[in-house]
Amino acid sequence: MSQTSVNLSRRQLFTRREIPDWPALPWLKEAQFTDLCTQCGECVKHCPTQIIRPADGGFPRVDFQQGECTFCYQCAEVCPEPLFLPKTEPAWQAKAVIDATCLAEQNVDCRSCGDSCEPFAIRFKLAVGRVAEPQIDISSCTGCGACVSICPTSAITINKRHLGSEHVTA
């Protein structure tokens, strides 16, 4: 099982924030999204954790600052358009990414994200003379977003281009 250490330079951090790259909705056929979505708002109304909000141009999008995705498939079931993959497919490939605003970078101890992660995908690497640093195990991370709103410095994002990205170093 590979572990992924995340350490960003400030430049990399700002670059990523200028181009948000979080997923829109789980199981979404992204290529057809803007053509087929009528912005009816059914998914917004039926998400039990209320994380779907109208975003750019009125299109729905998950907002992990509101909570986590439980992968209940409700948004897909209520959508009247053929916009979603079957539930048997992976919901998405997105994973959590931790940036340089993590308190561990300032040698401040914090384990909030680890406590919020049900699949235990956040491990803390011990280092001599420093506080433990969180690392995402991408093979365990589901991209649920439970760790996002809990972070006191907003250091965590759910990124669908986590693999091969300059933001993640193996």
Contact with ligand SF4 (CB under 6 A) among 49, 66, 149, 165 = 49
> Which region, judged by CB under 6 A, interacts with ligand SF4, from 10-18, 33-41, 118-126, 162-170?
118-126
Cα separations in angstroms, 73 against 80, 146, 156 = 14, 17, 24
122 binds ligand SF4 (CB under 6 A): yes
C-alpha span between 91 and 26 (Å, rounded): 5
Q: 158 pairs with which residues across the strands?
A: 96
Among candidate residues 25, 79, 21, the one with its CA nearest the CA of residue 52:
25
Token pair in block for residue 23:
């997923």
Binding mask 2-41 for ligand SF4 (x = CB under 6 A): ------------------------x---------------
Residue 2 contacts residue 138 (beta carbons within 8 Å): yes
Contact with ligand SF4 (CB under 6 A) among 3, 7, 66, 153 = 153
C-alpha span between 100 and 108 (Å, rounded): 13
Among candidate residues 17, 36, 22, the one with its CA nearest the CA of residue 100:
17
60 binds ligand SF4 (CB under 6 A): no
Which amino acid type is present at position 98?
Answer: I
Contact with ligand SF4 (CB under 6 A) among 22, 135, 145, 157 = 145
Binding mask 78-97 for ligand SF4 (x = CB under 6 A): ------------------x-
Query: Cα-flanking dihedrals φ and ψ of residue 76, to 5°?
Result: -70, -40
Shortest separation between residue 86's beta carbon and ligand SF4, angstroms: 13
Shortest separation between residue 18's beta carbon and ligand SF4, angstroms: 21
Contact with ligand SF4 (CB under 6 A) among 70, 81, 161, 165 = 70
Residue 159 contacts residue 165 (beta carbons within 8 Å): yes
Q: Which CB atom, from 118 or from 166, has the smaller least distance to ligand SF4?
A: 118
142 binds ligand SF4 (CB under 6 A): yes
